[in-house]
């Protein structure tokens, strides 16, 4: 058992019953020329978030924590994006951008495209899970909950983008499903004004989860590993 110095209170985890959920670390959201960049979303903090994730995932794998990648994805014919009766059709950035800019048709978040790919710096390793999703929450229309239950997972560390959209949406559903969500604050990046980030962090800390940072988690994991060596 490992105690994490989370806010507002410490949380004790068991590595074998913990997973880190890496949300949408795709070219679309963190790379120059990706969907966010093309839409004018500020991605200037992407490099530090990528670095934090690399450090954290290395420590998590060493400690025996399951690594789960969520990947926002649409079929090439957009049949899973929703039609005009779906709110996703009207609000999701990739779908609305491709409709507004026809020259980008089939290029944003579509299976097999560069935009859709998980960034090379964080490529999944053997044994990691990759869960495809076509909505903001990783629990919507996927087998994520079933896989976590089958693996007896209880605690979930959250990283990735966007803090206030897909990360928070997935964490809320995790909370409702009786998992324990822990936001790794410096390993996520938000979209829109900074008050979006502040609101999400406040929600985690006060309403439906806990907040940690990469350094705290790594120190706790490495200390536990050293103690059992």
User: Helical H runs in the chain?
Assistant: 27-30, 35-38, 46-63, 87-91, 93-100, 144-150, 168-176, 194-203, 214-228
Portion of the chain with pLDDT greater than 90, in percent = 97
Residue 197: per-residue pLDDT: 96
Residue 109: per-residue pLDDT: 98
Portion of the chain with pLDDT greater than 70, in percent = 100
Catalytic site residue from 24, 115, 173, 186: 24
Q: Characterize the bridge pairing of strands 11-13 and 2-4.
A: antiparallel
Residue 67: per-residue pLDDT: 98
Residue whose C-alpha is closest to residue 159's, from 40, 24, 48? 24
Q: CA 5, CA 146: separation in Å to the nearest integer?
A: 29
Q: Mean pLDDT, to the nearest integer, of 133-162?
A: 98
Active site residue 24: yes
The answer, yes or no, to whether residue 81 has pLDDT greater than 70, is yes
Q: What is the pLDDT of residues 118-147, one digit of tens each?
A: 999 999 999 999 999 999 999 999 999 999
Residue 229: per-residue pLDDT: 66
pLDDT band at 228 (very low <50, low <70, confident <90, very high): confident
Paired with 157 in beta bridges are 20, 182
Residue 224: per-residue pLDDT: 85
Residue 83: per-residue pLDDT: 96
Residue 174: per-residue pLDDT: 98
Q: CA 3, CA 224: separation in Å to the nearest integer?
A: 9
Helix (H, G, I), strand (E, B), or coil: what is residue 90?
helix
Q: CA 223, CA 11: separation in Å to the nearest integer?
A: 16
Residue 70: per-residue pLDDT: 98
Q: Average pLDDT over the chain, rounded to whole?
A: 97
Contacts of 141 (CB under 8 A, 6+ apart): 133, 134, 135
Catalytic site residue from 115, 166, 173, 186: 166
Query: Which residue range forms the structural domain that includes residue 41?
Result: 2-228
Give the domain CATH number at 23: 3.40.50.850
Q: Mean pLDDT, to the nearest integer, of 139-159?
A: 98
Number of structural domains in the chain: 1
Catalytic site residue from 115, 133, 173, 186: 133
């Amino acid at each position: 058992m490992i105690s994490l110095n989370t806010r507002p209170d410490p949380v004790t985890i068991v590595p074998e019953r913990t997973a880190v959920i890496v949300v949408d670390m795709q070219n679309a959201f963190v790379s120059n020329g990706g969907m966010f960049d093309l839409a004018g979303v500020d991605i200037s903090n992407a490099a530090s978030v990528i670095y934090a994730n690399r450090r954290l995932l290395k420590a998590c794998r060493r400690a025996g924590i399951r690594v789960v990648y969520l990947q926002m994805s649409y079929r090439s014919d957009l049949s899973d994006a929703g039609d005009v009766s779906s709110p996703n059709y009207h609000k999701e950035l990739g779908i609305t951008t491709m409709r507004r800019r026809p020259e980008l048709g089939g290029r944003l978040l579509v299976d097999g495209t560069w935009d859709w790919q998980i960034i090379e710096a964080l490529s999944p390793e053997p044994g990691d899970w990759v869960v495809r999703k076509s909505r903001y929450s990783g629990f919507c229309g996927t087998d994520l909950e079933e896989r976590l239950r089958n693996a007896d997972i209880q605690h979930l560390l959250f990283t990735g983008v966007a803090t206030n959209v897909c990360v928070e949406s997935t964490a809320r559903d995790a909370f409702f499903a009786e998992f324990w969500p822990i936001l790794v604050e410096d390993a996520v990046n938000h979209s829109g004004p900074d008050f979006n980030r502040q609101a999400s962090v406040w929600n985690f800390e006060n309403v439906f989860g806990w907040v940690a940072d990469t350094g705290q988690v790594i120190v706790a994991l490495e200390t536990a590993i050293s103690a059992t060596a």
